[in-house]
Amino acid sequence: MSPVPDSPSPPPRQARAAATRERILEAAAADFAAVGYHGSSLSRILERDAGVTKGALYFHFASKEAMALAVVEAMGDTYRGLVETAARDDAHLDPLRRAARLTAGIHDLLWPSPVVRAGVRLSGEGAVGPAWSSWPTRFWEATFTALFVEARERGELRGEVDPVAMGRFVLDISQGAFITSMVTTGLADLAPRVAHNWEVAFAYMAEPAWQAGWRDEGGMTAVMRHHLEQGGDVDGGG
């Protein structure tokens, strides 16, 4: 029996076109992340990558609006991939620890590529229509609410805690931290802000036995240590 041949590689022209589109998308994301949708322009985006011509840009994207939509769609794909990977890799952890690890994973996405930072800013500005503007909030609220529902079923939440309300709450404080950090420090202090907020949330929602084990492990300081090098340890109070 003859071996199954490898999947054919894309033609060189197709591969070059895909690479060019990716370069344009990265340049657009960097500009959107830096100055927002209304501060950005096609000329600014072209200046960020001297190797891309105006003709190539218009071949792939008919307008600035099309580029913004492509950026938030890429952010959505990235978020879904993160949740799928976390569900597989962290399946051995309880749901509250998975929520903490997922938060660290979101931060891992913010700096290697500008796509996620730009997507968050574009959706927050309402620059990509109502469906995409609300999508990150709806996606993460549903994701964290599901984890809190599971935690309640396992007896890890205090009896008076509503997991649905907590899902909304952690989104409110996380998005607030992002906006505040973006406008005051350019996101330099985002990690300690978010880590502290999560410690406050855990101190309210989690059973004392869970909290004791969490503190013994180092809490959010341990989970987000490489993000907190400039921010110091996190004290949740309580």
pLDDT the model gives residue 49: 83
- Give the DSSP H or E segment for 13: helix 12-39
155: left (phi over 0), alpha (psi -120 to 50) or beta: left
Residue 149 to residue 197: CA distance in whole angstroms: 20
pLDDT (tens digit, 9 = 90+) per residue, 184-223? 998 899 999 999 999 999 999 999 999 999 999 999 999 9
| CA distances to 43, 157, 165, 185 from 46, in Å | 5, 51, 44, 27
| CA distances to 6, 19, 23, 114, 187 from 26, in Å | 30, 11, 5, 7, 19
Share of the chain above pLDDT 90, in %: 76
SS percent in the chain: helix, strand, coil, step 5: 75, 0, 25
Residue 150 to residue 169: CA distance in whole angstroms: 17
Residue 166 to residue 170: CA distance in whole angstroms: 6
Domains of the chain: 71-227 (1.10.357.10)
- Give the DSSP H or E segment for 152: helix 129-153
pLDDT (tens digit, 9 = 90+) per residue, 35-84? 999 999 999 999 998 788 899 999 999 999 999 999 999 999 999 999 99
Residue pointed to by tokens 């959010």: 220
Residue 137 to residue 153: CA distance in whole angstroms: 24
Residue 148 to residue 222: CA distance in whole angstroms: 21
pLDDT the model gives residue 9: 59
pLDDT the model gives residue 1: 47
- Phi then psi dihedrals of residue 188, to 5 deg: -65, -30
pLDDT of 238 above 70 = no
The closest alpha carbon to 231, from 204, 191, 180, 202, belongs to 191
Under 8 Å between Cβ of 151 and 157: yes
pLDDT (tens digit, 9 = 90+) per residue, 90-145? 999 999 999 999 999 999 998 888 999 999 999 989 999 888 989 999 999 999 99
pLDDT the model gives residue 8: 55
